[in-house]
Amino acid sequence: MVEEQIPHSEQVIHLEGVSVRYRVPSERIGTFKEYMIRRLKRQVQMRTFWALKGINVDVYRGEIFGFVGDNGAGKSTLLKVVARVLRPTKGRVIVRGRVAPLLELGAGFHPELTGKENIFLNGALLGFSHREMLEKYDQIVDFSELGEFINAPIRTYSTGMYARLGFAVATASEPDVLIVDEILGVGDETFQKKCAARIEDFCRRGTSILLVSHSMATIEAMCQRAAWLDHGVLKFVGEPGQVIRAYREKER
Amino acid sequence: MQPTPIYDSAQLIPHALQELKEAVRYRHLLFQLVRRDILTRYKRSFLGVAWTMLSPLGIMLILSFVFSNIFGATRAYPAFILSGLMAWNFFSQSTTGAMSSLVWGGGLLQRIYVPRASFGLSAIGSGIVNLVLSFVPLVIVMAVTGVPIQITAAFLPVSLLLLACFTLGLGLAISTLAVYFPDVAEMYQIILTAWMYLTPIIYPETVIPAKYQLILHLNPMYYLVKLWRLPLYDGRWPTWGEFWPAAVIAIGMLLVGWFFFTSKSDEFAYRV
């Protein structure tokens, strides 16, 4: 492991010996009826499997931190633990501040509601009150470039419009931690540039960003530090170039 | 601006209590979810809000036509049916709503933290809105059939509170099951139908033969519907003996449902 080179600054995310265990039935039991029958026959067997094993990592204020690793290495599970969606089976997670996932843009939108109504619904899902969203409303509409369409039901939107509104709402507030899971590929080039600019702007103002990507170029270009996850174990933490080299070496 | 929230997974607060705390903190979400339910329900329907009032009215008309020969002796039979149906519809729609709302939120639950109980709570909220709306046809029907609303209706908020507690508890319990087993949703619809006919909604409890009284008294909805109907249709204050079983059942169910739900809700993210 490489020594941390970043000077002392404020810790935003602290993971201490975090392990996550999934318990899955060894066979898929699809129905309640089947479950009860098997239960009575004592045939329900649980297979346990550790998606994360003893992860220790700290992320500091204003840092872009990348995760690399194969599919199923535990990257998404780790993000879920930080986002508070999953509780670690063992270990401890401390997150100081508000976490906003840049969800697959627009998850949580309702197709029948207008863009405007969806802004308030989505804002509430992120934990904002109506009044707080009112303050951000103009800025959101502005950024999403939707204009008149903001009062039309979302089902009439194009994919691009959908994504723009999703990004605009997710980033309307300045979260302390922004979770970006492999998504910056939507929208046209101009909009992508706008997104990247906003993310960089956030960092300058102190938002920490967790980035998962299979694109090594993205990781190398954007992150200050990165980590390589392999079968739930943190193999290497350090400067992105080194992490990617280590990751690729194992591939051979 | 709110103070910076700190999330520490090692906090020693029981899940059931923490969920309650968070549900209060996310009360705006609750409001938005109820709003969404109401808006989407009425947005594309031609009759809009009127539909909530017309549908129980229609069912009441059919039932009172079909059963008037059998139960016609009941005083103001249409008002009797309608008052019972209101309580039943609130119960069945809210429990079903809690289930579908949680499943709708499934995709979200994997990506973002929200108190999971918000979905169940919002179903109750929407149910209450619809219940209040359905008072309009009820008051008219009651006036027409000669059993006008009395001062005893002042007791209704208490009846509703207990009914809502029971409904929330059961709604949370079955939505937990529905997360694990998709067939629970369909099974529940069948159970609901049978349950409604076992509860004195369209018939007065007096038609039940003495030897089957036990079944009646084992049915929690019997006490809750009765507590709703007494001050409304009968125009009489409930006695203590009519009140306490309903209260015990409602609060008991709420606790069971809440604890069951919160003990499992951290697993929802990889189940839904």
Cα A203 to Cα A62, A166, A191, B205, B216: the distances in Å are: 5, 20, 19, 68, 64
The pLDDT tens digits of the residues spanning B16-51 come to 888 898 888 889 899 999 988 888 877 766 666 777
Q: Quick one: pLDDT at residue B164?
A: 97
Contact B4 A108 (CB under 8 A): no
Instruction: Judge whether B12 is closer than 8 Å to chain A, CB to CB.
Output: no
Let me know: does B81 contact B202? Beta carbons within 8 Å. yes
Which residues of A fall within a CB distance of 8 Å from B44? 112
Instruction: Judge whether B25 is closer than 8 Å to chain A, CB to CB.
Output: yes
**How is residue A187 written in tokens?**
């929208």
The pLDDT tens digits of the residues spanning B87-102 come to 999 999 999 999 988 8
In a domain, B14, yes or no: no
pLDDT above 70 covers a percentage of chain A that reads: 85
Mean pLDDT of A34-51: 74
**How is residue B118 written in tokens?**
């918000």
Mean pLDDT of A232-247: 88
* ipTM, interface predicted TM-score of the complex: 0.79
Instruction: Judge whether B144 is closer than 8 Å to chain A, CB to CB.
Output: no
Q: Quick one: pLDDT at residue A182?
A: 63
In a domain, B114, yes or no: yes
Distance of alpha carbon A117 from alpha carbon A152, whole angstroms: 10
Residue A223 one-letter amino acid: C
Pure H helices in chain A: 32-40, 75-82, 115-125, 130-144, 159-170, 189-204, 216-222, 240-251
Contact A121 B112 (CB under 8 A): no
Contact B29 A127 (CB under 8 A): yes
Q: Quick one: pLDDT at residue A186?
A: 58
Q: Which of B92, B231, B258, B88 is nearest to B173 (CA)?
A: B258
User: For residue B139, is pLDDT > 70?
Assistant: yes
pLDDT tier at A97, thresholds 50, 70, 90: confident
Q: Quick one: pLDDT at residue B98?
A: 93
> What residues contact residue B44 under an 8 Å CB cut-off, 6+ apart?
A112
For A83, which of B36, B111, B184 is closest by C-beta distance? B111
Instruction: Judge whether A64 is closer than 8 Å to chain B, CB to CB.
Output: no
Residue B211 one-letter amino acid: K
Pure H helices in A48-106: 75-82
In a domain, B212, yes or no: yes
In a domain, B4, yes or no: no
From the number of C-beta atoms within 10 Å of its C-beta (0-12, 13-18, 19+), residue B213 rates as exposed
In a domain, B45, yes or no: yes
Mean pLDDT lowest among A35-49, A145-159, B64-78: A35-49
Residue with tokens 């006490």: B223
Query: If you measure CA to CA, which chain B residue comes closest to A178?
Result: B112
Which residues of B fall within a CB distance of 8 Å from A127? 25-26, 28-29, 114
Instruction: Judge whether B271 is closer than 8 Å to chain A, CB to CB.
Output: no
In a domain, B3, yes or no: no
Contact B36 A96 (CB under 8 A): no
Range of the domain at B53: 24-266
User: For residue B122, is pLDDT > 60?
Assistant: yes
Based on the structure, what is the number of domains in chain B? 1
Mean pLDDT lowest among A185-189, A245-249, B49-53: A185-189
Interface residue of A22, A32, A59 to substitute, partner B, most B CBs within 10 Å:
A32
Q: Which of residues 183-242 of A touch B (CB under 8 A)?
A: none
Let me know: does B124 contact B94? Beta carbons within 8 Å. yes
What integer best gives the mean pLDDT of chain A? 82
Per the model's pLDDT, the better-predicted residue between A123 and B271 turns out to be A123
Per the model's pLDDT, the better-predicted residue between A106 and A133 turns out to be A133
Let me know: does A112 contact A77? Beta carbons within 8 Å. no
In a domain, B128, yes or no: yes
Contact B111 A129 (CB under 8 A): no
In a domain, B241, yes or no: yes
pLDDT tier at B268, thresholds 50, 70, 90: confident
SS3 B214: helix
pLDDT above 90 covers a percentage of chain B that reads: 46
Which residues of A fall within a CB distance of 8 Å from B190? none
Query: If you measure CA to CA, which chain A residue comes closest to B6?
Result: A96
